Each structure stands twice: as structure tokens, then as C-alpha cells.
Chains A and B, each alone.
Chain A
Amino acid sequence: MAAPLTVVLIVAVTVRACLFRSSLADLIAERVEVVSPLNAWKRVVEGLALLDLGVSPYSGDVFHETPLIIYLFHFLVDYAEITFMLADVITAVALYYAVQDYNTQVLRQQKFALEAERLPLDSLELIRSPRQMYYIPLKVAMVYLLNPFTVLSCVAKSTCGLNNAIVALFILSTIKKNALLSAIFLALSTYQSIYPVTLCAPAVLYLLQRQYIPVNVRWASFWWFLLQYAFMYLGSLFVIICLSFFLLGSWDYLPSVYGFILSVPDLTPNIGLFWYFFAEMFEHFRLFFLCVFQINVFFYTIPLSIKLKEHPVFLIFMQLAVISIFKSYPTVGDIALYMSFLPVWSHLHRFLRNIFLVSCVLLACSALFPVLWHLWIYSGSANSNFYYAITLLFNVAQILLVSDYFYAFLRREHHLTYGLYLKRKDGSEATLVLK
């Protein structure tokens, strides 16, 4: 297994290295789909330049990275390309081992269910064989590394790649049952971009499940574990935030990083829903809609956790997707992260309803982004509505994709409990509906 992974890694690094050397690199680094004001490399360099001039990078409104990123690139600015390639490799390897571990876990659970004869006879068709699942971890690593979105993001040196690496390490340590590392990486990714805080629900659920602690409010051990995890998470968050304070000696970065993420003052176009909405917003409704849109990102955590409390890894996937669709400054790098999980759910394909349509729309939109951008910004023959229309369609397609996978996942679970070929009362073949 290690050999194919190595080949994939070598191919991925070669592709990136070639692109870094080509003239395309500058072009890609300017693309609004690939970099946002939050993670553009140009702004990192600007922050370092400001620091050199003796000006606090947070005194202006160009730099919005966290102090740890400045500190990191203070030393690594000359090795930025290697750093970003390394981040992608780390993400891919972490996802590879995480999915491998998760798959053995799935197989073991399936074996227990078969032995206990809990599964209905006709749902045996849905049982997954180890042979089918053998290449899934490799596919995950490959989909992440060779996804054009990831490649673009890496070549543009978007710090989104680093955030993805932290999230991947968080997933790995969670699946490897290491609560401390899981809490630390979760705190780091929260520190980087706030939104991953919602991933604490699946992490806690997974760790509880693996330690055979039931999710029950009347169990003391449940509360004890919750308290432990919260302490580790908040403790490491506190340490990181204080460390950032001591690095620059001021709290200026808090409004400049988190205030910037939450209040969306920069309306530079991107692939998300925020920019045009708030550019066209009536001034007195701005705060209201800002709250609605931001709450929307966090809102799905609780109902999804309740519905998917037996399946925390799927919950992680759902959360990542919701964040990357509804966050304030999304880039294609965020999409690449949740898309790399799609091979894990390859067994759901028979229940997907409109995957063909959705993939066509996603592909078409990805191609149309640069075209309509050019028409609007450079040739002046189109206006902002054209680009906006494509972002809308792209987001609808993403929502349909995610909800389709969610539907397929729930339906498979239903079939695993009630059998694959359901009959009506009169014995004719039944159709399943949501009621």
C-alpha cells in the first residue's frame, strides 16, 4: 500500500513544482476563486513587509492572518513553495491513515452486526467487502492531491492549504483515539479560522463511541469525558491565543482576524454567497443579515449531531461541507477538503439521485468562473451579475451534492435496518418516501 501512495505523492509534488516554475503561477495567485483576502499569499508578504517597516501588520486592513502564520513565514518565507507542498502532502497522508483506520473500524462493526444477525437477509447486498474497501484510502489521498482545486490552491500559496493540513491532522488524531492531540489540532484550526469549532461535536461523539461511553446525559462518565475534552480544547486555545499575544505584544490581531471573518468588511468577489449580498445590502438590514448568515454556518451542528450521532465521521464530512459552502470567505481549497471524502462514501452511489446533474453543474461552473470574471473585470462586456449568477449556481450545486450524499447515507441506514426490498401491506413492491 505504501508504494502506490508514494507514487501519488511524487506525481502530486511534480505537478506542483512544474506549475510553480511556470508563468501560470502568478496568474493563479491572483484568481479570486483560489485566494481570498483572508488567505492570499500576497497579503502574507505584505504583512511581513509591514513588520520590516516597523508597522504592526494589524494596523492596516490588508493583513488578516493569525500571528502564528507571520511567525511561521518569518522563517520560512524563502521556502514557501516547499512549505505549501509539504502541507498538501501532510493532509493527504493524514487523510490516508485516518480513512484506513476508519475502514477497519467499519468492517469490524459490520462483522459484529453480521454475527449478531442484526441485519435483515435481503440487505446483505449492502454489505461492504474488504476488497472493495482496500483502495479507498489511496483514492482519498489521490482525490485530495490531484484535485485541480487543491493544485490551484497550493500553486497560489493560499494559506488555506495549511488550514486543511491542521484539519486533516485533527481528523487523524480523532480517529486514532488520541483525545489530547485531537483537542490541540481542533484548537489550532479554530484559532486559524473560527468555523472549525463546530467539528468538536463529531470529535466528541467519535471518541465517546470508541471508548464505549453512551451518549446519555445521565451517565457521569459521559459528562466526565465531555469536561476533559472541553478542558483540553479550551486550554490549548487559551495557550495559543496568549502565545500570539506575546509574539506581537498586542491584542490587535483579534479584531483584525476574527472581526474580519465575522463582520465581512471586505467585499472582494469570491465563490461564496456573502460578497454580492452584502455589497447590495440596505444599510439598516446589514447587521441583521450578517447575524443570520453567520448563525447559519453554526446552526446545523446540533441537529446534524443528533441525527448522525452513530456516524461521527460522516458528521465530520457534513460539517466540513456546510462550513465551506456557507463561510464568509470560501475558496476552492475548502471545497477540495470535503470533496476528498467522497471516495469514502462510494458505497452510497446506488442511492444518489442527481449526481450526474450536480457534477455537470460543478464542472461547468468551474469553467465559467474565469470566463465571466474576464468578461466583467477585463473586457467590460458583462457586469457583476454574470459572475454572481455563477457563484449562486455553484453553491446550489454544492448544496445539492451534500444533501444528496446525506439522503443516500440515511437511506442506506434505513435499508440496513428494514431490508433492501421493502413490500407494501398488500405485498407489492414499495417505494420509500420521506415523511
Chain B
Amino acid sequence: MPMTPQLSPVEEQERLLDEALSVVKIQALQMKRCLDRSKLMDGLKHASTMLGELRTSLLSPKSYYELYMAITDELRHLEFYLFDEFQKGRKVADLYELVQYAGNIVPRLYLLITVGLVYIKTNTCLKRNLLKDMVEMCRGVQHPLRGLFLRNYLLQCTRNVLPDVAEPGDESEGSVRDSIDFILMNFAEMNKLWVRMQHQGHSRDRERREREREELRILVGTNLVRLSQLETVNLDKYKKLVLPGILEQAVSCRDAIAQEYLMECIIQVFPDEFHLQTLHAFLKSCAELQLGVNVKNIIISLIDRLATFSQRADASVGTTGIPSDVRLFDVFSDQVSTIIQSRQDMPPEDIVALQVSLVNLAHKCYPDRVDYVDKVLLTTLQIFQKLNTDRIEYNSPVSRELTRLMKIPVDNYNSLLTILQLQHYGPLLDLFDYHGRKNLAAYLVNNALDNETQIPTQEQVDAVLTMLSSLIQDQLDQPPGEEDPEDFAEEQGLLGRFIHHLRSDIPDQQYLILSTARKHFGAGAKRRIKYTLPPIVFQAYQLAFKYRALRNEDEMWEKKCQKIFQFCHQTITALITAELAELPLRLFLQGAIAVGLMEFENYETVAYEFMSQAFSLYEDEISDSKAQLAAITLIAATFEQMSCFSEENHEPLRTQCALAASKLLKKPDQCRGVATCSHLFWSGKRASTGGKEMRDGKRVLECLKKGVRIGNQCMDPSVQVQLFVELLNHYIYFYEKDNEQVSVQVLNQLIGKIREELPNLEANEETEQINKHFTNTLEHLRNRLESPESEGLSYEGLIL
């Protein structure tokens, strides 16, 4: 015996479908033959046999759909035939009754609908009653799949004949009211059948069943589409008949899949103008949906639609946007909180997501209502209080949602000042854990920097910095361990930039701002303050200049300046406490220059203090030789610039510089330091002489000679030559500045020495550079020789 091969489910479906389709083909052919020969009754019999194929329980929804399509396609022949006959006046008596003798209900109802449609088309006064009759009779098919398709056929057939007039011209032809009743009833029945599918068969097939339901949902949804296509359904009818009907069914079916789909369907198929006027009803129903329904998505979908609508309406002239009587935000806000209350199991991230959509709504529809946004934040805060949440873990779903929520106002307002108006922003921010807070704080700072937002009052600065405290100060919940130093530097760098945005045009206010900022940033531990205090100091110096500029208007300016420099002094000292040296040194020097230009009472003393602070830092804190040279160079350069000191103060400072330079550890450093200090005796300025340069040529020469002496002591010939070249440049400088102590002879001596040593150097890159430096220097001198300036200065006797 041949074995029958086991067919896979797919093949089995194909086989069953093929069999059914071949029956359909044969019966359809015979039906058409009979109709061609005007044998109506025989034709109907074949149609009925053909329709009998739709009684099957073996086909999957997909295959059943194919079968349905094939059969309804053939039924159209019957419909056309009957329509033709009726048009020609060859009306078959009692046809509507005749087809009802079919023993099986499925074929009977398909025939009933087909014939019913022909009746309606040829005799419109039957319309109202026939529609009611057909939709009522379809109740006989309670099998979900067969019932859904039967009712779909009803809906398809009647789509062009549904009455769509507000008031019936003829009672029996019906009005839109009848169409609404008709579709709503069909919809309710289809939905019930669709929901029932869920509860049939084994639980192990659940997934497959839900997939099949997804495939079939469009059949149910078509009812709503049909309702939306009725042109005479105005707002009033929608509000009183259509929507309540749909919602009643959606809520009462208690099936999550159906509810989610239907609510989405309502949003998508009906116009926004209707939604706006029926928000209460719609949202109230949302609160009554099953727990498994993702209400969040439904609400968000609606809000997004309305928000887009409002923007579209705003953009196009002539259309009305959201009517003033629709308090869109309040309605949503109230209903969303009802929904949240009624759904105890809603995950917090979904709750927050709803708030996100509310904020979006507020932004898109009411861009200037900051209070709306704040209200959402308050609600969110209260929700977390109710949930007893006091820490939101970084990167958890709820943290991601809440971050989204918090970023929206930042992105929309692009102003930190507006964020400050949101009273509940800060408290909400505090709910995040360390990482979350820091993340958002950095976001806020970046936004302010990008938009160049200035924070103009002390109170605002205080508030902002409190909000940003996770960046500014160590936090109680900060996890142990080091952060990535690069990230840290970058983040603190942001803050440094941000400090320049804490700015008021009113000097007194600016002072308050700076002291507030100082308070906040000062608590930032040493790893932070090196980034954050210097900008404050610089801001303070700038403020001092401002007061000076306003000295004619503000009689208190001197006192204020003094106070500012006190403030700076303290601030810089804080950096010293944090074991920093070079940075405070530079700040003191910068401060000294600033003070020197101020000319307020007592300013020399202050400047001296700043300089002496720099010196003591140099002496106590800087030990690296390179750093020492750099520091002394900087100190000397600063001092050379200043003209505020009397001889009494000037003398110890310049001597101290020269002394410090000569005490440097390495010979080359000594040499260079002394050479640098030589300038102090030439261009250094004293207040006692009215700011004139000292021009003490003798002391200059002493310094340079000392330099040459130290240079001679260097062991490395390469370094030695390099130092000589540098010294030569110093000599030339002073020679050209008319220092009479510097003679051509001295220059010749030095040049000779260099010439002597240079060829002995090893040929390498360094030598190359030294050589180049020397050659350039000689070139300069040669130029001077060849084209002597008209007045004075000549290089007579120079040997090149």
C-alpha cells in the first residue's frame, strides 16, 4: 500500500484551499450557465452550493480570506444578473423570501445580502427596513471567522447605498441616523466575534491565535472607516451617537487587543476637529480599559495628533486651530491623572511617558504657558512621592523616560532662565541618582553655552548652581572611585565656560553674582576648583575695571574695588589651600597688574601684597626648576609692566627678582633668569618718578656680565653657545636702546667668542638651530650697518 505522505500544516492548508476553490470554480461556472439560460432557481442552487464552501472550519483565516474573495467575486455575477433583470422590469416575486429557504445559514445569509442589495438598488424605499433586517439576521452566524467575513460582506455590499442625508426625504429610505445604527450594530457584533476568537481553542495556541486576530482586525476596523466616511456625520452626531457607540463597545468587550486597536483606530480615522470636542469622553474611556492595554501609546498617539494639528493650523492662514473653549491641556492633564490612578499596575516609566506627552502637548499647543509645563512636573513629582521613590537609578527605564521629560523644556525653551521659572524642575532633578543628575546638569550647561544664555541676577545664579550642584560639589550619593579624568576635565571645563555667562550689566549685581558663585564653586573640592575659581577671579578683575570706568558716577567705587580685590585674594588663597601653586601665582600676578591700573586709594599696598604673595608662592611652593624659571620669568615680566610702585616698594621687588634669578639651581636657568631681570633695571617704572623707565645702564650691564660669567661656567658647549647667542641678543637690544654702558667692543667680544666655539659643536639639529639664530642676529646687525638710521646710533667698528 502506498504511504500517504504527511503534509505540513502549510501544505495541508494549500490542499484544502485548492479543493474548495475548485468546487467554487465548477459551481460558479454552472451558476453562470443557468443564469445565461434564465434558469434563476437552478442558478441560485449552484450559488448556494458554492457558498456552502464557506461553511468550512478547516481553513486558517488567511486561506479563508482567499476563499471568501473568490466566492464573493463570483457572487457579483449573480448580483449583476439580478440587477439587470430587475431593471428590465422582470422582477422575480418573493425572491428575498425564496433565497431564505436555503437550509444552511451561511449560504442563506450571503444570498440574502446579495438579493437584499439588489432590492435596495432597485427600490430605494425598502432601504431602511432591509438594512435593519440584514444586519439583524446576520446574528445567526456566531462562529467568529465565518461571522466576521459574512458581516464584512454585508459591509462591503452596502457601502454605496447607506443613506447619508441628515433628514430623510422619505422615511423609508432612511437617514444617516439609520446608517450609524446599522454600522454600529455590525461593528459591535464583529468586535464581539473577534474578541471571542481569543477564548477558543487551547492555551498553547495562544500566540498563533493572537497573530490570526491581528490579521483579522482590519475587518473590524473597516466599520469605523465606514462611519468616518459618512459625510453628514457632523460633530453633534459624532458626539452623541457615533463615538459613544464605539466607546461603549470598546470598553465593554474587556479585551486588551481589541481595545488597543479600536482606540487607535478612532484616533486615526476621525478628524481632529472631532477629537478636540470629545476629549473627555475618549479619555474617560481610556481610563476604563483593561490593565493589559498600553494606554500610554493611545494617549500619546492622540496628543501627538492634536499637537501636530494645532501646529498645522497655526501655520496655515484661515484655518482655526484649537478652539478657545477647548481647554486641551486641562482636559488631558485631568484625564491622564485619572488614568494613572485607575491603573495601579502601570509601570512608572509609562506614567512618566504620559507626562512626556503632556509636556509635548503644552509646548506645541501653548508655547508660552510655562505654568502648564510646571504643572506636569509637579504632577510627576507627586507621582514619585506617592510611589515612595526617592532615588531613580541611572539608565533604568524610568530614568530614561524622566530624562526625556526633563530635556524637553530645555530643548524647547533653549533658555536656562525659563527652566528656572519651573519651580518643580529642581526637586524633580533631585530624584535622579548621581549619574542621572550629573548627566542632566551637563545637558543644562551645554544648552546655556550653545544659546549664550546669561544669568543676570544673584537669585537666579543661586538657583542654577543649586540645580547643577552634582557638577559643582561632591555628592552624598556619589559612588566611590575615580572618574575618567578626561571626562572630568571636559565637564569642569564646561562649568568654567559657564561662569562667564553668570553676568549682569549692573556692577553691584555682578558682585553679588560672583560671591554667590564663589560660595557654590568654592565647595567643589580641590579637584574642581582649579577649573572653576580662576574664571571667577577673572570675572572679578573685569568687574573692578568696570567700577573704575564708572568712577565718576559711583563715589563708592574705591571701596568696592578694594572689596573685589579682597574677594579675589581670598579666592586665590583657596586655590593655594588646595595645594596648587602655579595657578594662584599667575592669578596673583594678573591681579597685581589689574590693581596697578586701578588707582584707588591704597592700591599700591594691595598690588604689593599681590606681588609678595606671588613671591612667597614661588619660594614656598614651586620646586621644579623648569617651573621656577617659568615663574620667575613671569614675575619679572609682570613687574616690568607695572608702574604703580614707589621706590620704597620697587627696590625690594626688583632686587628680589634678580636675587631669585641668580639663585636658580641650574646654570643655564640662572643665566637666562639674570638676563631677563636685566630689563627690570632698564624699563622698570616707579610711581615716584612719574612712571618713567629706570634706565639704570650700569645695573643692566652688571646683570648681563653676570650672565656671561654664568654662561662660561656651563659645561655643555652646545648650551654655552646657545646662551651666548641669547645674551648677544640682549646686548644688542640694550645697545639699540642707547644704553651707553654697552659698547661695540663688548659685542665684538661676544661675537668672536661664539664664532670660535660654534664650529666645534657636533653637527646636529640643535646646532643647526643655534647657528640659524646666530646667523639671523648677524644679519640684523649687517642690515643696521649698511643702512644706518639718520639719527644717532651707529655700529661703527663692529666686526662681523
Q: Do A and B come from one complex?
A: no
